Structure 1
Amino acid sequence: MATHGPPVVGISCYREKVSWGVWQHVRADVLHADYADTVAGGGGVPVLLPGAAVGTGKSDVDGAADAVVARLDALVIAGGADVDPARYGAAPHPRTVGCRPERDSWELALIAAADRVSLPLLGVCRGMQLMAVAASGSLVQHLPDVLGSALHSPGADAFGDVPITTVSGSRVAAAVGNAVSVRCHHHQAVDRHPGFVPVATAADGTLEAMERTGRRFCVAVQWHPENARDARLFNALISAARANTGT
């Protein structure tokens, strides 16, 4: 990992067909600017991590992930499309859509590479779900089936404002407090999460954050702090990166 200067924070991103300027329906690597802005606001240097290595053999993807992680001080697995249910041995729900198997492969490789060197890691929304799947966990594929409510994802580009309660003594509680309203945009949620401790829940029982115990910063949240420009979890990640590098 990097050893001097401001912490370098890698952020996974989308690969989609998008349009801008004279370019129409072109494949591009994109991400909401809120992520990079929040990292930069906390004193980190944001670097986007497109899955350019995906499409070659697994060993090549793993090798690329190791090479990337070796140059980072921290990693963020960003939000995005539903995780392919085949990754956790489930048949797809009719509302499970937009899966990106190539992105799954790349981000799972990044998570594994970060785990190997204890790199500080923050998962956001899909990132939390993928971290659970990487640990042999599973997901609830459509929360309204369970809750009878679309509170956590009201539809289209709207966010749900969801009150949560955190577990005292957790990293998440230290960052955001014991009770807070968060910005959610998820119709899925983590079910099983081996190796992770649940540290925040909504009033309806939905798991909203989990983390690993021990010295390493390894935290995942179901909400979108970057959307609310709430830098507290990102600042905690960057502080952990600074502690690791002595900067």
Structure 2
Amino acid sequence: MTTYRQRSQTGVWDVNASFLPAVYIDGLTNAGGTVLLLPPQPVTTAVVERVLDSLDGLVITGGSDIDPARYGQEALPTTEKPRADRDAWEFALLDAALRRKLPVLGICRGAQVLNVALGGTLIQHLPDAVGHSDHRIGNAQFAQTPVATVPGTRVAEMMGPSSVVRCYHHQAIDRIGDGLIASAHDSGDGLVEAVELDPARAGDQFAVAVQWHPEETLDHPALFEGIVAAATRSRDLNDLHDLQERAATS
């Protein structure tokens, strides 16, 4: 799971820190996964490949706005100051994970990272586009919004035809990235609320991303169970492949 890196206060300390709200970790461990935290750090191909060698799946978590330059736009006054270290780290991890066909789950910002990484764009400030602030009411309070899933998608398989989800975002997916399909929409304003790799092009590769925050409703663990199940299948297939290679060379 990727993490924040920013100012944090705890006890007598007020320092830059790498952290992640515990509910993310609880969501994955409750589903049977084991969490390795991946804070932003200097990026090289060698570092990214070595990190991914130790993983069965990747979760890109929520956080601040992506630099609009990554999708060819100038930043609006309402767009948060980019965190270049986190952008560089997460885009590099995601690119390598997709090439390896490593299972990926994106959450909120993570959905936007997946979309932009595959050539999509974002709406920089939703109130300007939809005329309301219902997706981020502020003051660290998560809003609730109804979503409808697209039949036949992985998200529909995991979540059912509809659900009420928790959200906190002022940006959203605009043009969908190459190779992705929309798998859920807001039932009110029609915004894209989830995307995933198009199975017609990617086969059974698991890369799913939702604009909402499943870690805020841990009594509905379907998405975390989904990434754990996909990671387990991926690990087992890799183990089988390694055994076959060793047998062939012995």
Q: Same fold (TM over 0.5)?
A: yes
Match of 2:88 among 88, 101, 105: 105
Residue equivalent to 2:41? 52
Residue equivalent to 2:248? none
Residue 171 of structure 2 corresponds to residue 188 of structure 1: yes
Residue equivalent to 2:245? none
Taking the aligned partners of 2:213 and 2:81, their CA distance within structure 1 comes to 19
Shift of 1:156: 2.2
Contact 2:27 2:224 in 1 (8 A): yes
Matches within 5 A, 1:143-182: 143-182=126-165
Partner amino acid for 1:189? Answer: A
SS in 2 for 1:48: coil
Match of 1:78 among 55, 61, 65: 61
Residue equivalent to 2:229? 239
Residue equivalent to 1:17? 7
Matches within 5 A, 1:215-230: 215-229=204-218, 230=220
Residue equivalent to 1:65? 48
**Which consecutive residues of structure 1, in runs of 5 or more, have no partner in the other structure?**
1-10, 55-59
Shift of 1:246: 2.2
Residue 184 of structure 2 corresponds to residue 200 of structure 1: yes
Q: Which range moves more in the overlay, 92-101 or 204-213? A: 92-101
**Which consecutive residues of structure 2, in runs of 5 or more, have no partner in the other structure?**
238-250
Residue 32 of structure 2 corresponds to residue 43 of structure 1: yes
Taking the aligned partners of 2:8 and 2:135, their CA distance within structure 1 comes to 26
Shift of 1:245: 1.9
Residue 201 of structure 2 corresponds to residue 211 of structure 1: no
Taking the aligned partners of 1:35 and 1:48, their CA distance within structure 2 comes to 11
Taking the aligned partners of 1:36 and 1:233, their CA distance within structure 2 comes to 13
Structure with higher Rg: it is: 2
SS in 2 for 1:27: strand
Taking the aligned partners of 2:156 and 2:95, their CA distance within structure 1 comes to 26
Taking the aligned partners of 2:55 and 2:154, their CA distance within structure 1 comes to 21
Taking the aligned partners of 1:27 and 1:231, their CA distance within structure 2 comes to 31
Partner amino acid for 1:15? Answer: R
Deviations 1:19-53 (A, max 9, x none): 112212x1110111111111110111011101222
How many residues in Structure 1 have an aligned counterpart in Structure 2? 230
SS in 1 for 2:215: coil
Shift of 1:155: 1.3
Identity of aligned residues (%): 45
Contact 2:41 2:85 in 1 (8 A): no
TM-score after normalising by structure 1: 0.90
